[in-house]
Structure 1
Amino acid sequence: MKRLSALAVLLMSSAAPLAVAPVFATPAVAGTEAAAPARLPAAVYARAEAVLPQHVDELIFGLSVRPQWIGDGADFWFEQRTSEGRSYVRVEPATRQTRPLFDHDALANASGKPLARKDLRLRDLKVDARTGELTFGYDNRSWRYAPATNVVEAAPPTGDKGVVSPDGRWRALVRDGDLIILSTADGAERRLTQDGETSPYATPLINLKDMAGQGTSEPGIAPAVQWSPDSRFIATYRINRDHARRLSLVQSAPKEGGPPRVFDYLYPLTGDTETPMVEGVFFEIESGRRIPMKTPARPVLYYGGPDYEWSADSRAVFERGATRGYGALQLHRIEATTGETRLLTEDRSDTYVDYYGHFWSYDDKADTHYWTADPDGFAHVYAVDAKTGARRQITSGDWRARSVAGADRQAHRLLIVGSGREAGRDPYLRHLYSLPTAGGQPRLLTPEAMDHDVSVSPDGRFFVDNMSTIDQPTRSVLRRSSDGAVVMELGRADVSAYLAAGYRLPEPFQTMAADGVTPIYGALFKPADFDPAKRYPVIEDIYTGPHYVMTPKSFEAAMTGRNANAIAQLGVIALTIDGRGTWGRSRAFQQPAYQNLHAVGLDDHIAGIRDLAARNPWMDADRVGIYGFSAGGYDVVRAMTRHPEFYKVGVTASGNHDNRLDKAVWNEQWMGSELGPLYDENSNITWAPKLEGRLLIAHGELDENVPPLASLRLVDALIKANKDFDFLLVPNADHFLDAVPYYQRRRWDFFVRELLQETPPEAYLMKPFD
């Protein structure tokens, strides 16, 4: 293929793209002029826009039931959405009764201004289990509603009053770096510390997103304190920020106008030897006594700080943490009265312990920690005694135990979400199992060959099950935990408007990895006007982060968690696929990614796509595009530099193109904390001279998760290599560029022009996202 002349093009958000020859342009016949590419009708973009995750809820209703449990029993409420609007339903499992949570018409008219049912959207709705009183947000204000009297009143603003103790007597807050408690009875203050000016207490590493949202590098945030259940102690920490790495970003165009803003923030990069260091501390409230936690100072590698969880008896806190480089994952018990620390349990590995895939929960009623580990190659649940650290295995076998969803205490049984246990099924499909708390044979409670998204009642007697696959719309039911029997039907996804508009349901597929032995799985999306007699380009939505499964398994995830359905409407076959090196199956399946992020998995993706194309002649495996976000953005560039013969057009967004220029917490998990040649080999900057095809690079100006410097280093490397590319820097945008309609449209334009060889609709204007 003939190379284009070398020119690096920087495109700001309002700039028009440079006209370049398409990658697949057919040479003009001598003596004739090449025909101008056909212009794609705006109706095609409108068809795609309607099924973006931000808009698809205007076509599909009842995607799932999200129970909000009331108190410690089994009663719950949920928001029900239909084409007519929203309603709020209360469910009483014991009597199998449903009723309105409140008088919707009374609430809608309580303010004197009748409110249409479609506009009855109550945010942060909470129900007092004792009084039945509702609190919620509406129209940027907080409200209280008493259903018994139909009285609605504005709730008083909370202000900066800190974190309230369980007994309601105290509020804890931070002022000028020091920890202060206030009496709720008379407002009297007591200062617990005096030395917080340079190293503040109860103050985490602040997320850049919070800074940008409040327009200052010192935003107001809630104090990081954990009250003991008996309100006697506070557990908190202070972080030494001396010598820690600071980055700065410029908000060039604040939304309210005025000069640019500069935000300075702490952001440890991979391999940093000097990082923020945390020290834990208790405070006894009545005496004001300070009790240092006797744990060594340890690094904070991302926003936030350590998480402490109190024991049920208020005697100790538990802290989970990984060693630097993720060779060990540990659970400590720290005594409140002395600060003494004891290692309860840990897992070690010569390579890595999977922190991102790890599940941990503390059962305060059983005084037991549930902890997952994979020493035998599959993640399973262990019970760890919260006092002694005694550890026993609960589940076993060649399947993955994902989490403990609850416990039926009367029956002395645990409820565990797992996958890969049922023969002949997609190994990622979730199921719920019941088994004795002491361990034993699991009982399958969700027998349908579908993905089961479950929520267990606090008393463990019932669970809500949203069952679906990507091509079977959701059925939501209430089931008994004792035997899985369906007690009540709660709803079904209404796809009638979606199907009436001509759209197609996605299709799951199974293919084979490049080794010819390992089955791998994916999802395929077709345009609404699909014609099997035609031949369509293919566009892959890629993300191969080892902590993640890219292919959706539930109907809701397929409709709202990916852009592939919208991309397909441009007139392509869009797909996702999960090759070796990713999460959700065995240790052996994930292990190939370790210290090998740049090479792993692509051969599986290519083999899978070629196999699909061989089986489906309407797929053109010679015209393949690719797009991805974050670690998927990294994937796009590695695909186009390692396999330019296959991936010919790509869009990379918010990509972490060099693992040394990104957050330590994620990259050290998969690459280790020691820098060196390995990091060079796995860097897109190193591979930039090998780029072929057409590439659009995009990044948000205020990306809090992957600094824009990652894409700018790639831009610099491509310029030095004399490569052609397009670049879009989006003012005010953060990490999630898919939240920017303009970026979505520019991505479509790029694929239409470079892969479909057509001219995009002129300046198509998308609707704002809610």
Structure 2
Amino acid sequence: MTLTQLVSGSLLLVCLVAQSAPDRAVIERSLDLRENWLPLTRNLMLEPVWTRTGDAFHYKLSVEGGFLFFRDQVYQSQTEPAFDHQLVATGLSRVTGQDYTALNLPFDRFQYADDGQSIRFYLHNIHWQCQLQVANCQDVTEQRQPSAFGVVRDLQQQAASGPVPSPDGNYQAQVSGHNLLVLDQQGRLVFQTEDGVSSNFYDPQLIRWAPDSSALALVRVQPGKARYVTRVLSAPADQLEPQVIQQLYPKPGDAVDVDQPVLVRPADKTAIDIPTTLFPSPYRIDSLAWQQGDQGVVWLSERDGWSHLYWVDSAGQQLQQLTQGNWRVRQVLAVDESSGTIWFTASGYYPGQDPYYEHLFRVGLDGSDFTTLTEGNAHHEVTLSPDYQHFILRYSRVDLPYVAELRQSHDGSLVRELARADISQLSAAGFRPPQPFVAKGRDGETDIWGLIVKPQNFDPDQAYPVIENIYAGPHDSFVPKSFWPFGFHSGGDKVIGMQAMADLGFIVVQIDGMGTANRSKAFHDVAWQDLVDSGFPDRILWHQAAAKQFPWYNIEDGMGIYGASAGGQSTVAALLFHPEFYKVGVAYAGCYDNRMDKISWNEQWLGYPIGSQYAASSVVEQAHLLQGQLLIINGEQDSNVDPASTMQLVDALIRADKDFDLLIVPGGEHSVGRSSGPIRYVQRRQFDFFLRHLKQQDTPDWNRVQ
């Protein structure tokens, strides 16, 4: 409502003029934006996959009406369909009950299997295999011993393990009655451990023979605390009565599995505990492997303030730095011991470029022959061939559609262009790339990077309220750097989700403040034992700088903010601790008190033992500070963050006599509103909330029959 005062003589007339509510069709157009725009790109290549030999590769490509998979050869361009798409769609539809077509297969990557007679891919937490001669797909998920967030095994579901033969076939190893047994070819007992008990047992899933069969390694496990979270599935699809679901879910402070590596030599009849001096607090070992050769290891460390590569000899004594500078190594792609070469990606190397853009480099194992293999002002995504001879480069920016090239790995030279995305139809439909914006952070020196998304019908003479899409988790950086605006999963809330929100009359932004990853160690350490900081001092300065530069960037009446998971926690923190700035928030699936959340993520960033730092980051403890408008959304079956965390926040708000809105989605998972569950409904509730409380506009009566 707006207030207009009309003065006529001594008569004061006060008229309340209602702003026109957005048309229902306008909101529905935003809800359908991803579905309508997704098919409008052409020749855009997604992540490629190499064959094991390195002489061929395949990839998913946008085409008229959807996407298809193609395969190609390295030494001669021979592009052809990777398989019969309709055959796979028929087989997958039949087994899943979903309706798939040749142009909308629901996976982005696959591997050939059975000598090219079938393909394997991952979909909805299931490994599938589809034959390529008949329409037949099946679940081929391997039943392995489950673990909870990588730290506690689920002993109630411990998978049995059969005998593991040695490479030379002379021995078989297996676990029976908590102990390791080694048998010869005739099944006679060669060696058996005697110290295995239920509280200190040998793990049958981690038996690894040496290549020469002279020894094997495995682990002896002291199990941690088996904490279970219990949830109620209120509305099961297959019955009327609710179901009770239990999940192994260790929380901060709980005892974790402690794994002791053991070396067994059958011929000597010995089992020796491997010293853990290199890792004095060992826990959950997920894999064991025998090192070939004896040159040492490549080590990634931030000891000089930046993430760099070091070489350590096999005794763990000599240390040599292989890369250095005010930039960071992001990922080691391959180590070729035969040529003494490491291929890796790094960001921040080129002055004047966005410091998050990744590039490809190589360096010798002795630190020599450092070589830059990509240079362009863009984000570079690299897939190296298994024989190390070539790589496929896909480079892009948020304003530069993907270009895919085949290059040689020794010098980065171009072999040929593979695909160049065409977005002419997408642009004709109204797409405009986000606008990068940079401002100084809290120290007055560090650049803080973000994106600004404007409405399609943007008018620079109009002032727009601003909404921030926040994710401040310290495990990564989150502002998109590549072109693909849709995310890589159905309902992915990247640029397209921000665009849908902006089209309702907002400016929507995303920022990487201090405390997020992929910059210097000092930049990252801001989050250590202080997750509630969420980079807000940097974010607020960024918004103020944008408002000073752009007249249409209106933050005078307060801002909106939304986020999920750690972003949900940050959303509530914004309303509690910065109420003069953030006025309206929508929080999804938040870990509102880190003591209630999963052990691995929270102990990693808030530390151990559990102390006052956990309470200091809890928005539940400070719920009484709420001043703005808050909508809390949570999936009833969230298996990532204990749903009780949400209900404890609700309880604290009620006890503090605070008003708020709450939406619980029965059966909804952690990704509710983003990639599972009733996405459209949940997103519409978010849209309505910001329209009513940030723009002060009435919204349609959705219950009225049309």
Query: In which range does the TM-score fall when normalised by the shorter chain?
Result: 0.7 to 0.9
Code of the aligned partner of 1:135: I
Q: Could you say what secondary structure the match of 1:38 adopts?
A: coil
What does residue 699 of structure 2 align with?
A: 760
Code of the aligned partner of 1:127: Y
1:146-161 maps to which residues of 2 (within 5 A)? Answer: 151-152=133-134, 154=136
1:335-374 maps to which residues of 2 (within 5 A)? Answer: 368-374=296-302
What does residue 727 of structure 1 align with?
A: 662
Shift of 1:683: 1.8
Match status 1:126 vs 2:111: yes
Match status 1:277 vs 2:212: no
Shift of 1:704: 1.6
Q: Go from structure 1 to structure 2 and tell me whether the alpha carbon gap of 1:109 and 1:707 turns closer, same or farther (over 3 Å shift).
A: closer
Q: Could you say what secondary structure the match of 1:181 adopts?
A: coil
Q: TM-score, structure 1 length as denominator? A: 0.74
Candidates 444, 458, 471, aligned match of 2:399: 471
Q: Go from structure 1 to structure 2 and tell me whether the alpha carbon gap of 1:120 and 1:710 turns closer, same or farther (over 3 Å shift).
A: closer
* Contact 1:626–1:650 under 8 Å retained in 2: yes
Q: Go from structure 1 to structure 2 and tell me whether the alpha carbon gap of 1:690 and 1:61 turns closer, same or farther (over 3 Å shift).
A: farther
What does residue 571 of structure 2 align with?
A: 636
Query: How far apart, CA to CA, are the structure 2 residues paired with 1:581 and 1:123?
Result: 31
Shift of 1:701: 1.3
What does residue 591 of structure 1 align with?
A: 525
What does residue 603 of structure 1 align with?
A: 537
Query: How far apart, CA to CA, are the structure 2 residues paired with 1:600 and 1:158?
Result: 41
* Contact 1:416–1:434 under 8 Å retained in 2: yes
Candidates 669, 686, 691, aligned match of 2:604: 669
Q: Go from structure 1 to structure 2 and tell me whether the alpha carbon gap of 1:469 and 1:494 turns closer, same or farther (over 3 Å shift).
A: same
Query: How far apart, CA to CA, are the structure 1 residues paired with 2:510 and 2:91?
Result: 48
Query: How far apart, CA to CA, are the structure 2 residues paired with 1:143 and 1:727?
Result: 42
Query: How far apart, CA to CA, are the structure 2 residues paired with 1:202 and 1:89?
Result: 45
1:311-326 maps to which residues of 2 (within 5 A)? Answer: 311-313=290-292
* Contact 2:21–2:700 under 8 Å retained in 1: yes
Q: Could you say what secondary structure the match of 2:540 adopts?
A: helix
What does residue 520 of structure 1 align with?
A: 448
Shift of 1:230: 4.5
Shift of 1:144: 3.0
Query: How far apart, CA to CA, are the structure 2 residues paired with 1:449 and 1:194?
Result: 60
Code of the aligned partner of 1:40: P
What does residue 494 of structure 1 align with?
A: 422
Code of the aligned partner of 2:51: I
Query: How far apart, CA to CA, are the structure 2 residues paired with 1:760 and 1:655?
Result: 26
1:60-459 maps to which residues of 2 (within 5 A)? Answer: 60-101=41-82, 117-118=102-103, 125-127=110-112, 131-136=115-120, 142-145=129-132, 151-152=133-134, 154=136, 177=158, 179-181=160-162, 192-195=175-178, 224-225=205-206, 227-228=208-209, 230=211, 237=219, 240-241=222-223, 243-270=225-252, 272=253, 274-280=254-260, 291=271, 293-294=273-274, 305-313=284-292, 368-386=296-314, 390-407=318-335, 412-440=340-368, 442-459=370-387
Shift of 1:473: 1.1
* Contact 2:575–2:627 under 8 Å retained in 1: yes
Deviates more, 1:497-506 or 1:236-245: 236-245
Deviations 1:423-472 (A, max 9, x none): 11111110111222321363221111000011111111111111011111
* Contact 1:510–1:519 under 8 Å retained in 2: yes
Q: Could you say what secondary structure the match of 1:686 adopts?
A: coil
Structure 1: give runs of 5+ residues left out of the alignment.
Answer: 1-24, 146-150, 164-173, 204-222, 314-364, 766-770
Match status 1:692 vs 2:635: no
* Contact 2:89–2:105 under 8 Å retained in 1: yes
Query: How far apart, CA to CA, are the structure 1 residues paired with 2:236 and 2:627?
Result: 37
Deviations 1:644-670 (A, max 9, x none): 111110011111112222222222222
Instruction: Report percent identity of matched pairs.
Output: 33
* Contact 1:453–1:467 under 8 Å retained in 2: yes
Deviations 1:136-179 (A, max 9, x none): 4799974333xxxxx4474787697879xxxxxxxxxx997474
Structure 2: give runs of 5+ residues left out of the alignment.
Answer: 6-11, 95-99, 146-154, 166-171, 180-196
Q: Could you say what secondary structure the match of 1:58 adopts?
A: helix
Deviations 1:359-388 (A, max 9, x none): xxxxxx786533211111111012334565
Query: How far apart, CA to CA, are the structure 1 residues paired with 2:580 and 2:228?
Result: 41
What does residue 612 of structure 1 align with?
A: 546
Shift of 1:84: 4.3
Deviations 1:82-123 (A, max 9, x none): 124544322222335434445779989999x9x974256778
Q: Could you say what secondary structure the match of 2:236 adopts?
A: coil
Deviates more, 1:101-110 or 1:471-480: 101-110
Deviations 1:721-743 (A, max 9, x none): 21111111221112112223122
What does residue 16 of structure 1 align with?
A: none
RMSD across aligned positions (CA): 3.9
Shift of 1:517: 2.1
Code of the aligned partner of 1:759: D
* Contact 2:229–2:246 under 8 Å retained in 1: yes
Pairs aligned (count)? 644
* Contact 1:641–1:690 under 8 Å retained in 2: yes
* Contact 2:39–2:62 under 8 Å retained in 1: no
Query: How far apart, CA to CA, are the structure 2 residues paired with 1:565 and 1:179?
Result: 50
What does residue 9 of structure 2 align with?
A: none
Shift of 1:573: 0.7
Query: How far apart, CA to CA, are the structure 1 residues paired with 2:83 and 2:333?
Result: 29
